[in-house]
Chain A
């Protein structure tokens, strides 16, 4: 399949992906009742009055996991071209990749040892 034809398909699918929910929402607008009242519009709360700022401060751990994720995601991206070209690259590239991963595993071990991989 020619390169640009493939991506024309992608573009059309993206368009369809948007049109389906938009169509359904239009149908909903035409068919559904609309009777808002203050009680109904309140955010769910179990038996209590809903506070207006109904959010919580949350754990720093989320951020730490996101940091770890970004670094390892970048690593996996380097692995893809390596894996595709593997048969043409030979032993040198294999060893280079082991060194590359090894250095990053040091980071993982660091996080592990500092007990950052635990949810506290």
Chain B
């Protein structure tokens, strides 16, 4: 188990570092996929198999494709890649350090469980029940949110498409 955790951590952190350090935006997108898959692995390790599969399906399968299409839409292969100016290093490094400080100080205060409950065999059905008993209002709000996202994004894409 610790070995699996170690490998997943390497993949996730390596992917995340790759996203920041890669000079080609398309490479960044693929490093991001690696990080997504690493996170999916954590979910499987925690016994949340449905969430893990969803992580792969939605993030690696759908969101990454959207990112890639967006990147390829705005950039051509011969375009110069990102520079590594000192200002960029400073900005990114500063933001990362701030976030790390915030997370670490918060994490210390929170009492985290050290033992996992055994994985539930009816994981997916439990999520289904939870969606329709205690969480039914948020569930319906999600559909409105998705609709708003859809209409908004289509409107924006159409405007930009018309302008170019």
Direct contact, A vs B (beta carbon within 8 Å): yes
Residues of A bordering B, CB below 8 Å: 3-4, 7, 10-11, 52-55, 57-58, 60-64, 66-71, 73-75, 77-78, 80-86, 88-89, 92-93, 96, 99-101, 103-104, 106-107, 110-111, 114, 116
Residues in B121-159 with C-beta less than 8 Å from chain A = 121, 124-129, 131-132, 136, 139-140, 142-144, 146-147, 149-151, 153-154, 157-158
Tally of contact residues, B, Cβ under 8 A: 51
User: Could you say which residues of chain B place their CB within 8 Å of the CB of A7?
Assistant: 44-45, 49
Asked if residues A82 and B132 are in contact (CB atoms below 8 Å), the reply is yes
| Least distance between B30 CB and chain A CB atoms (Å) | 16
Q: How many residue pairs bridge A and B at CB < 8 Å? A: 142
Asked if residues A110 and B151 are in contact (CB atoms below 8 Å), the reply is yes
Residues in B40-69 with C-beta less than 8 Å from chain A = 44-45, 47, 49-50, 54, 57-58, 61-63, 65-66, 69
In the A-B complex, the 7 residue pairs with the smallest Cβ-Cβ separation, listed nearest first, are: A85-B128, A81-B128, A53-B78, A60-B161, A107-B150, A81-B127, A93-B132
| Least distance between B137 CB and chain A CB atoms (Å) | 10
